[in-house]
Amino acid sequence: MNRWFVVVGAILIQLCLGAIYAWSVFTTALESPPDKGGYGFTPAQTQGIFSAGLAAFAIVMLFAGRWQAKIGPRSVAILSAFVLGAGYMLGGWIGDSFWKQFLCIGIIGGAGIGIGYVVPIAVGVKWFPDRKGLITGLAVAGFGFGALIWVKLGGSWFGGLLNTTHVFGLPGVQSVYFIYGVVFLLLALLGSMVMINPPAGWKPAGWNPQGAGSAAAGTGLDITPTGMVATPQYWSLLAMFTGSAMAGLMVIGCIKLFGVDSLQASKACNSAKEAGAVAGTAMGWLAILNGLGRIAWGSVSDRIGRRNALLLMCVLQGIMMLVFFKVGATTTGLIIGACIIGFNFGGNFALFPAATADFFGNRNVGLNYPFVFLAYGLAGIAGPQVAAYFRSHAAGDVNAWRMPFIIAGAACLVAGVIALLLKAPKAQPARVAALQCPVCGVALAPLPDGKRCPACGASLPA
């Protein structure tokens, strides 16, 4: 099979999985009072559904990595299509209350995303060991671009589905949920058809891993999750990913609400409708740059190294978050700030899977990356809920947005410091007398068959 077909299939799947990033398009309608056609949800409730989706996404990925190893990536991708589609269709059909949407859109929909997300990454890295940064960026670029499509379809394209559709007589929000569920099911099923691992021992023509640079070849280790979580590198990646992702998820979950508050308070816009239109534009550009950032940061990291790319991305994001409260008070500033935040946020999803493959091996990236991706679930709870907490306790005061952005900016700068100190794990020469695994330190007596540590799976020196 031509390996570029895998990229096409990956993008189709990720376009659907990116639905969770379109959440802001629903928040205004969900928080509107029932007498104005809304649902009367509180900010904590709307962000609670978003956070539940992110948490379910990250937790279910842990199991999906193991399912993929047992039943194959295509079967897992097909399962993802059905679960994601069912979550949104059920959310449309019965989602007339907070708890029903929390279950259908948050838990079931988030689980569908978690089942499928790692498949294109794991399959892509195996087909493209020579371009891990670029291919992980391309594989997940659809996630960011998908958000733009679903935001615009819901809010403005063709008059906005939220305003124009009433499938089965359902209200606008539920009608859009149902339509999206059907589309997600069909597109994800189509993309899953090419989610197939390469033959055993396959490598690209002319690629010599021994002669490749460190960014392409990695450390040469092949470590399973048990050994990985025993390394300081794993905990460093987890902490960095949490801090860096927190900023982007916070802004994705609240940019429309912040834009409306900030632009009206600064008199940059004269009405909530005008401010909402600008915020919607900023949301769309954030989604575009989110997708482009995945490709760009992945490609750059193949050239300058994963650590340098992580350091640069985290520092730039930290600075932008610290000034976003002021910058976002103008129409141009809100859009530019959203672009920079989206671009840097997208880099997380190219750099961290590539770093996981570099540090702990290509073979087990489908098993290992879900453990690194737990950071996304932590950030998905922390980011939106921090913003909701300050906003709920200072309703109507635009200054309520200042502290959440400062907290997120500081978290990104801390992640940058960790990146500065980050070093890839290195296997030490084995000491025959000690009979210990050079990676996890477990006692080996006698030397196991197959030259691999039975505890962590690391390759053992001769």
Using an 8 Å Cβ cutoff, are 285 and 343 in contact?
A: no
CA nearest neighbour of 45 among 115, 105, 113: 105
Q: Which of 43-57, 90-104, 105-119, 128-142 has the lowest mean pLDDT?
A: 128-142
Counting every residue, how long is the chain?
462
First CA to last CA distance, the chain: 35
DSSP alpha helices (H): ranges in 328-457?
Answer: 331-360, 365-372, 374-392, 402-421
pLDDT at 430: 42
Give the C-alpha distances (Å, rounded to integers) separating 184 from 12, 14, 18, 81, 103.
Answer: 9, 10, 10, 7, 18
Is a pLDDT exceeding 60 seen at residue 240? yes
Cα 440–Cα 444–Cα 450 angle in degrees, nearest 5: 90
**Residue range 255-314, pLDDT digits in tens:** 888 888 888 888 888 888 888 889 888 887 887 888 888 888 988 888 888 889 999 999
Beta bridge partners of 459: 452
pLDDT at 429: 46
Q: How confident is the model at residue 443 (pLDDT cuts 50, 70, 90)?
A: low
88/180 Cα distance (integer angstroms): 7
pLDDT at 38: 76
pTM score? 0.70
Mean pLDDT, residues 362-385 taken together: 82
Of the ranges 59-73, 150-164, 227-241, which is most confident?
Answer: 227-241
Strand ranges (E), 194-285: none
pLDDT at 112: 94
Backbone angles phi, psi at 436, to 5 degrees: -120, 150
CA nearest neighbour of 352 among 248, 428, 197, 253: 248
**Residue range 397-441, pLDDT digits in tens:** 788 888 889 999 999 999 999 999 988 777 644 444 345 666 555
Mean pLDDT, residues 379-403 taken together: 78
**Residue range 163-221, pLDDT digits in tens:** 788 888 888 888 989 999 999 999 999 999 999 888 877 777 776 665 444 444 455 56
pLDDT at 59: 84
Using an 8 Å Cβ cutoff, are 61 and 373 in contact?
A: yes
Q: How confident is the model at residue 396 (pLDDT cuts 50, 70, 90)?
A: low
Is a pLDDT exceeding 80 seen at residue 453? no
Is a pLDDT exceeding 80 seen at residue 155? no
Is a pLDDT exceeding 80 seen at residue 80? yes
Write down the architecture of domain 4-200+215-421 according to CATH.
Up-down Bundle (1.20)
Helix and strand counts by DSSP (H, E) for the chain: 18, 0
Which residue has better confidence, 31 or 242?
242
Cα 441–Cα 446–Cα 451 angle in degrees, nearest 5: 70
pLDDT at 349: 86
221/460 Cα distance (integer angstroms): 9
Give the C-alpha distances (Å, rounded to integers) separating 89 from 40, 152, 251, 253, 346.
Answer: 22, 19, 27, 22, 28
Which residue has better confidence, 223 or 49?
49
For the chain, what percent of residues have pLDDT higher than 90?
A: 26
Q: How confident is the model at residue 148 (pLDDT cuts 50, 70, 90)?
A: confident
Beta bridge partners of 436: 443
pLDDT at 115: 92
**Residue spans per domain, the chain:** 4-200+215-421, 432-462
Is a pLDDT exceeding 50 seen at residue 233? yes
